[in-house]
């Protein structure tokens, strides 16, 4: 008889005892799923992401309202993530059903960039000599530039310029400030204390994110601790002198010059597909010289995806006094950044070490909390009828997909069987519960859930004349979890399950009865899920005071080009004054010592002119 004993310490210690002489002990970090999540945090998170203070939280209410299965009112439209190694939407894609994302040779962004350079000096310089058939095969950004009469192909060039800089230098290509020495640290700390953010200078120097890592701050704290100075203010002149001298030895850590095949603008396509009308038909324009310029539904999807990817809507939603002063992203869950996350005895990935970026051990690699995901599905798709985005795999690569349908079947969490009588699937928490040590104190019952959800999958770009729901490729995911219910049926927690019941193979150290060839679990739970707020239209209002575009069978007025260039030149400022400052890794060339210091960036986010995109959506959706 397998017996599990739980003792609390810095780590969660599990002793599995099969006989008096046969024990197996494992330890896990004291973080979910090995301690219960906070009930209020679960409920508040659901209310926030659904923008619904009256969100459904009771298991029986959900079942009785028929929300164990549902489909969104509108199906998101299929699209591609437009690979960065191909120049995003500046790629003159081939309309074919053969492989697109990992075609032979196209993983090399340098090869693609060189190909574009030849194209820029050939095809693009002679675009006025192309016939209508050749114009039809241009890249989406090239068609957009031609429509605006921009023979300099400003948007197209900017997309390839970004690709080249990112490929060679990553984010360092857009660095504007690197705060290694920290000469201004004292003034900044004094300001923080005056705002009431910290109690005193020592508190600010120790805990302020912006100040951590700078040499002057570290030097000043050490000088005071060693007794050479009585306080930070006295120590700062000496600390700064040392910092300025030492900072000369620090350089940015070297970045690789690779672009992963999955890097692109899936965050633009996936979000737009849940909110923007589906481009259903081609749109033709007559150019000044009489040639026809055709935009296929895929071309329009590309421009929409780029606009959404590089818009401020990608910032987090931030409500202040009832008004959104941030972006449009509401999310639950955290990205798993561990390349080799370990697996527990139940077959679930977990946060076996601190996150490499934050240094904290948070519940990332276990996936978003199952209670949050369950309630998100029910309230967003079921109650509200709108789709949302899921990062479907617990791993480093991100693949955002729009979810629009789900179906839940309940099972008994102690034996794995599903019963027609719902009450037989709900069990009181007792010694038969394999996760009883990790349950919320308010939990009284558990119910197993087998979830199937359907998402729109990536598709290869094509030059079809029309697009409809029948053209969409879909991806179905299945997973298991349980929900914890309080005495009234309110969902207060839950646990992911790699298999319906029991443990999975964990290697040679595990007891024999915890290993089974048939009981191999899979980690299908999503990393995180997110949704675009209901005020999304505020981010895509037309630029005002432009000359009217009266005849939409022809190109827009030439005067629009100036406004378009302003949109193309948009830069996103990651600065501490905006609350978006970053940390950079630097290394001492003499000692090899690594450290993180504050830094700021201005990242190019070229956008097509919103007026053009909105009109294309309108004309194509009719």
Nearest CA to 370 out of 523, 531, 519 is that of 523
Q: 609 with 524, same domain?
A: no
pLDDT at 335: 86
Residue 9: inside a domain: no
548 domain-assigned: no
Do 345 and 216 reside in the same domain of the chain? no
The answer to whether residue 240 is domain-embedded is: yes
Average pLDDT, the chain: 91
Instruction: Label residue 352 exposed, middle or buried (CB < 10 Å: 0-12, 13-18, 19+).
Output: middle
Answer whether 427's CB lies under 8 Å from 446's CB. Answer: yes
The confidence score (pLDDT) of residue 398 equals 67
Q: Does residue 606 have a pLDDT over 90?
A: yes
Neighbours of 465 (CB within 10 A): 9
CA 377 to each of CA 57, 331, 384, 526: distance values in angstroms, whole numbers, following the listed order: 12, 13, 10, 12
566-589, pLDDT tens digit by residue? 999 999 999 999 999 999 999 999
Span of 41-55, 247-261, 296-310 with lowest mean pLDDT: 247-261
Does the pLDDT at position 541 exceed 50? yes
pLDDT at 512 over 50: no
Say yes or no: 73 and 91 in one domain: no
Min mean pLDDT across 192-196, 394-398, 519-523 is at 519-523
The answer to the question of residue 519 being in a domain is yes
Indicate if 48 and 186 belong to the same structural domain.
no
418 and 333 together in one domain: yes
The pLDDT of residue 519 is 44
Average pLDDT over residues 119-131: 96
The pLDDT, as a whole number, for residue 507 is: 45
- In a domain? residue 317: no
Residues 72 and 106 in one domain: no
Residue 275 to residue 271: CA distance in whole angstroms = 7
The mean pLDDT value for 514-525 works out to 52
Nearest CA-CA partner of 334 in 315, 357, 317: 357
Q: Percentage of the chain with pLDDT > 70?
A: 90
Structural domain total, the chain: 3
Q: Which of 209, 216, 231 is closest to 183 using CA atoms?
A: 216
Q: What is the average per-residue pLDDT within 299-321?
A: 96
Q: Both 237 and 293 in a single domain?
A: no
- Note whether residue 546 is domain-resident: no
Give 3-state DSSP helix, strand, coil % of the chain, rounded to 5. Answer: 35, 20, 45
Q: What is the pLDDT of residues 399-454, one digit of tens each?
A: 799 999 999 999 999 999 999 999 999 999 999 999 999 999 999 999 999 999 99
Indicate whether 320 belongs to any domain: no
Half-sphere exposure of 241 (CA within 13 A, CB side): 5
Q: What is the pLDDT of residues 142-194, one digit of tens each?
A: 999 999 999 999 999 999 999 999 999 999 999 999 999 999 999 999 999 99
Element (H, E) at 89: none
Of the given ranges (121-135, 312-326, 356-370), which has the lowest mean pLDDT?
356-370
Q: How far is CA 142 from CA 91, 411, 565, 566, in A?
A: 9, 54, 14, 17
Which range is least confidently modeled, 330-334, 355-359, 590-594?
355-359
Same domain, 191 and 293: no
* pLDDT tier for residue 357 given thresholds of 50, 70 and 90: confident
Statement to judge: residues 250 and 289 lie in one domain: no
Residue 469's Cβ-count burial label (10 Å; 0-12, 13-18, 19+) is middle
Short-list 345, 334, 353, CA closest to 11: 353
The contacts of residue 180 (CB under 8 Å, 6+ apart) are 214, 215, 243, 247, 250, 586, 597
**Which residues make beta-bridge pairs with 295?**
283
| % of the chain surpassing 90 pLDDT | 81
Q: Are residues 595 and 612 in the same domain?
A: no
pLDDT of 92 reads 95
CA angle in degrees (0–180, nearest 5) for 222-227-233:
65
Structural domain containing residue 410? 35-79+328-459+470-534
Tokens describing residue 370? 């199952």
Q: Which residue has the tokens 């749109």?
A: 283
Residues 6+ apart with CB under 8 A from 559: 546, 547
Residue by residue, DSSP assigns 147-189 as HTT-TT-HHHHHHHHHHHHHHHHGGGGGEEEEESS-TTHHHHH
* Residue 582: strand, helix, or coil: strand
Of 71-75, 129-133, 166-170, 331-335, the range with the lowest mean pLDDT is 331-335
> pLDDT confidence of 103, banded at 50, 70, 90?
low
Is residue 88 domain-shared with residue 192, that is, in the same domain? no
Section 128-151 average pLDDT:
98
pLDDT value at 265 more than 80: yes
φ, ψ (nearest 5 deg) of residue 108: -80, 105
| Residues 162 and 208 grouped into a single domain | no
Alpha-carbon span 83 to 611, nearest angstrom: 25
- Domain assignment present for residue 339? The answer is yes
């Amino acid at each position: 008889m397998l017996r599990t004993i739980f003792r609390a310490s810095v780590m969660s210690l599990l002793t599995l005892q099969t006989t008096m002489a046969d024990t197996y002990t494992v330890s896990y970090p004291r973080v979910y799923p090995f301690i219960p999540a906070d009930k209020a945090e679960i409920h508040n998170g659901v209310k926030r992401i659904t923008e619904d203070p009256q969100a459904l939280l009771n298991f029986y209410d959900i079942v009785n309202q028929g929300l164990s299965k549902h489909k969104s009112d509108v199906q998101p439209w299929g699209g591609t993530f437009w690979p960065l190694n191909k120049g995003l939407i500046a790629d003159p894609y081939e309309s074919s059903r053969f492989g697109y994302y990992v075609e032979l040779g196209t993983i090399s962004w340098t090869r693609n960039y060189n190909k574009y350079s030849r194209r820029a000096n050939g095809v693009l310089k002679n675009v006025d000599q192309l016939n209508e058939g050749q114009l039809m095969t241009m890249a989406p950004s090239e068609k957009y530039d031609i429509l605006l009469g921009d023979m300099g192909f400003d948007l197209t060039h900017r997309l390839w310029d970004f690709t080249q800089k990112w490929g060679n230098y990553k984010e360092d290509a857009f660095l504007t400030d690197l705060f290694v020495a920290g000469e201004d640290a004292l003034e900044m700390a004094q300001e923080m204390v005056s705002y009431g953010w910290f109690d005193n200078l020592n508190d600010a120097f120790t805990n302020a994110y912006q100040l951590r890592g700078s040499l002057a701050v570290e030097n000043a704290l050490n000088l005071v601790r060693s007794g050479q100075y009585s306080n930070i203010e006295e120590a700062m002149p000496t600390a700064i002198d040392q910092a300025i001298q030492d900072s000369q030895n620090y350089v940015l850590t070297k970045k690789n010059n690779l672009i992963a095949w999955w890097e692109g603008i899936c965050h633009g396509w996936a979000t737009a597909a849940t909110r923007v009308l589906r481009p259903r038909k081609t749109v033709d324009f007559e150019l000044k010289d009489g040639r026809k310029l055709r935009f296929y539904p895929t071309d329009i999807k590309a421009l929409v995806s780029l606009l959404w990817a590089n818009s401020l809507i990608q910032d987090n939603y931030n409500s202040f006094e009832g008004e959104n002063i941030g972006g449009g992203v509401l999310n639950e869950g955290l990205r798993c950044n561990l390349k080799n996350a370990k697996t527990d005895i139940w077959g679930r990935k977990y946060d076996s070490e601190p996150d490499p970026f934050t240094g904290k051990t948070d519940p990332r690699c276990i996936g978003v909390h199952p209670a949050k995901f369950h309630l998100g599905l029910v309230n967003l798709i079921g109650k509200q009828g709108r789709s949302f985005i899921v990062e479907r795999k617990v791993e480093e690569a991100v693949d955002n997909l729009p979810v629009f349908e789900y179906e839940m079947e309940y099972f008994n969490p102690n034996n794995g069987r599903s019963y027609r009588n719902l009450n037989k699937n709900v069990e009181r928490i007792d010694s038969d519960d394999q996760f009883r040590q990790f349950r919320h104190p308010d939990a009284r019952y558990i119910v197993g859930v087998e979830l199937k959800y359907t998402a729109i999958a990536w598709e290869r770009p094509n030059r079809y004349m029309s697009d409809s729901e029948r053209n969409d490729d879909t991806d179905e995911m299945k997973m298991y979890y349980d929900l914890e219910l309080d005495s009234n049926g309110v969902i207060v927690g839950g646990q992911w399950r790699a298999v319906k019941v029991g443990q999975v193979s964990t290697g040679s150290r595990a007891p024999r009865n915890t290993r089974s060839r048939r009981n191999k679990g899979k980690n299908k739970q999503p990393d995180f899920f997110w949704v675009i707020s209901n005020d999304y239209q505020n981010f895509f209002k037309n630029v005002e005071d432009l000359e009217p575009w009266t005849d939409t069978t022809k190109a827009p007025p030439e005067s629009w080009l100036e406004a378009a260039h302003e949109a193309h030149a948009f830069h996103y400022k990651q600065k501490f004054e905006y609350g978006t400052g970053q940390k950079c890794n630097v290394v001492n060339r003499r000692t090899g010592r690594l450290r993180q210091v504050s830094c700021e960036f201005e990242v190019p986010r070229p956008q097509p002119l919103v007026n053009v995109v909105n009109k294309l959506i309108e004309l194509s959706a009719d």
